Chains A and B, each alone.
Chain A
Amino acid sequence: MSKVRVLTPVVSVENNMQNAQALNVDRLVASKVRIGLLDNTKPNAGRLLGYVGDLLTERGLAARTFVVDKNDSPVNPAGTGATEAVLKRLSQEADVVLTALGN
């Protein structure tokens, strides 16, 4: 049977790793790490992260924990990325970051 050629909607995707930095895991060899907790401001997310931070400190896993949120976003922050200022603080002050949380 003869063939008909059809075009597909398959597209190429943008290279979104262009500006990615190499992972710095050397910081994690310390016995205690600094843990940044990024609250997306959904209901209870910040409270939950606060409890997580307390537990990690209590159990000796974290030297320090701190919660930051995306409240400096001009719109509803849960659905948008953290601002540059928030990302900069996390980069400078955290060895590992936990983010939370969906509904």
Chain B
Amino acid sequence: MKRGIPAATICTTGFVPVGRRFAQALGVPELPIIEVHNEVGHDSPTELEETARRIAEAVPSVLRKYQSRNVKGQQLQDEGRGDTLDVDAGTDLSIRVSELFLQENWTDGLPVVPPTEDRVHAMLEAVAVSPDEVLGVLPPRGGVATVRKVAVCAVMAGCLPKQFPIVVAAIRAIGAPQFELRTIQSTAHPHSPFIVVNGPAGIEAGLSNGHDLTPRGWQANIVIARAVRLVTVNMAGLRNVTASHTQGYLGRFVDCIRENEEENPWQPYHTELGYPRDASTVSAFPGEPPHLVDDRGSTTPQSMLTTFARVMATGGNRSTFGASEQILLFAPSHAQYLASHGFSKKDVRDFLYQVARIALNEYPKDNLDSLSTWHKKLFSNVSGPVTVPVVHDRSDFKVIVHGGIGPHSLYVPGSINAKSATVLVERKG
């Protein structure tokens, strides 16, 4: 429509509310939507023909709507609420603010710390950037994420000022074009930002590298992740449509970890990207909730990595259908075992590229449509014992060390559309 061409979109019933919100966010609130009542992916040709008939019957009304010149573009309007609210003081201030903010859909459902002027000011004092600096314009909504507004979310989340530089860097990272926040915010595929912090700023912020046994040890991880979540709700999310995942809020919560550089036998993740070892970075990965990789008995590196490969390479794993990144959080014991047996990170990637593959004949023939364009180009017309690698390029295996004791590593499947982004943490002074 914005190219000047009348348009309509065909949408299944369940996606109509998301479609309407999207159209509003994109400045075309009156975009005609032709609703069909079933998901067509599983339909037979006969069923598709019936659905096509219903769509064709709706087309004349779409044309009439345009012919009557009733369809216009319109910029998404700001909300009625302003930048501040005056709330009755008193001992139950936190409860009142939490209820009010929940009513406005400004929260993640949990109670919030009231973002008073003093608290937000203290947050802003902790960073070297101007309160009005724009960290990103976050899609799909196109919300302008200034440092000040991000500070409001950080206070709401329970962050301490010393943790705010990490939040600022995380918002820059999720706003990077390759991160494709538009997709993450609007897809039915349950994934969200997965934040990995490297360098001294993570230690200063109190982030756990996985060893802590007490809730206090996880405070920084939880509140930084929550601040990122609240920013996505308020600045990126479509109003009142903040969870279009098939399973609702599951997979919608953000995780934040610090790489366990202290027990990492390899070079830390950020140094692979060219940052100095003493630099502090935040990397945002588009990820599903972590999956367990349990290996307590392997007696060779090849055997251990085959366990990792088998967790990843399964026919129903959506992130293996395309050119996704696969994030591997190696437990220190697993990483140290591999390194002590001569396996570098490159060796890990090379081995996984060969072994983490899915036999093409394990994909049901009628589900091959689900494969990415890249996969289709390579594999649609082949038969026999062909295997499909779970990554496009072996550098898409992201090797990170995290956690404490125990034989449990984690696998975080990536997004089929998005790539990770890493930015420097700007520290004050």
Tell yes or no: A7 within 8 A of B by CB.
yes
Interface size class of A (residues with CB under 8 A): 35 or more
Q: In the complex, how many angstroms separate the beta carbon of A18 from the nearest chain B beta carbon?
A: 9
Q: A8-B82, A55-B53 are in contact. Are A80 and B417 (CB under 8 A)?
A: yes
Does B314 reach chain A (CB closer than 8 Å)? Answer: no
- Given the interface contacts A5-B85, A42-B41, does A102 sit within 8 Å of B106 by beta carbon? no
Find B79's partner among A10, A47, A74, A76 (CB 8 Å cutoff).
A10
Chain B residues with CB under 8 A of A80: 180, 183, 417
Select from chain A the residue with minimum beta-carbon distance to B77: A13
Tell whether, in the assembled complex, residue B146 and residue A23 are in contact, meaning their CB atoms are under 8 Å apart: no
Minimal beta-carbon separation of B419 from chain A (angstroms)? 8
Nearest neighbor of A56 in chain B, beta-carbon distance:
B56
Which residues from 1 to 59 on chain A have a C-beta closer than 8 Å to any C-beta of chain B? 1-17, 19-25, 27-29, 33, 35-36, 41-45, 47-48, 51-52, 54-56, 59
**A102: nearest chain-B partner, CB-CB:** B15
B188 at the interface (CB under 8 A from A): yes
**Which residue of A has the minimal Cβ distance to B371?**
A76
Known A52-B56, A55-B52; judge A10-B83 contact (CB<8 A): yes
Given A4-B87, A9-B153, A13-B141, A23 contacting B1 (CB threshold 8 A): yes
B250 within 8 A of A: no
Instruction: Flag whether B137 is at the interface (Cβ < 8 A).
Output: yes
A4 touches which of B82, B86, B230, B373 (Cβ 8 Å): B86
- Could you say which residues of chain A place their CB within 8 Å of the CB of B373? 41, 71, 73, 75-77
Query: How far apart are A97's CB and chain B's nearest CB, in angstroms?
Result: 4
CB distance from B85 to the nearest CB of A (A): 5
Chain A residues contacting B7 (CB-CB under 8 Å) are 96-99
Q: How many A-B residue pairs have CB under 8 A?
A: 249
Given that A6-B84, A8-B152, A23-B6 are contacting pairs, would A13 and B48 also be in contact in the complex, using a CB cutoff of 8 Å?
no
Using Cβ atoms and an 8 Å threshold, which residues of chain A touch B313? none
B52 and A48 form a contact (CB under 8 A): yes
Q: A17-B73, A51-B52, A76-B321 are in contact. Are A44 and B369 (CB under 8 A)?
A: yes
B204 touches A (CB below 8 Å) = no
Partner pick for B116 among A5, A41, A47, CB 8 A cutoff:
A5
* Interface contact A28-B417, CB-CB below 8 Å: no
Task: Name the B residues within 8 Å of A20 (CB-CB).
Answer: 1-2, 27, 73
**Across the interface, do B2 and A21 meet the contact criterion of CB distance under 8 Å?**
yes
* Chain B 15-54 per-residue mask, 1 if CB under 8 angstroms from chain A, else 0: 1000100000111000000101001111101001101110
10 contacts between A and B (CB under 8 A): A3-B88, A7-B115, A8-B85, A13-B141, A16-B142, A42-B41, A43-B370, A51-B48, A90-B3, A96-B66
Binding site for A on B (CB under 8 A): 1-12, 14-15, 19, 25-27, 34, 36, 39-43, 45, 48-49, 51-53, 55-56, 59-60, 62-63, 66-67, 69, 71-76, 78-79, 81-90, 93, 97, 104, 106, 114-117, 120, 137, 141-146, 148-149, 152-153, 156, 180, 183, 187-188, 230-231, 234-235, 321-323, 367, 369-370, 372-374, 416-417
Chain A: residues with CB nearer than 8 A to chain B?
Answer: 1-17, 19-25, 27-29, 33, 35-36, 41-45, 47-48, 51-52, 54-56, 59, 61, 71, 73-77, 79-80, 87, 90-91, 94-103
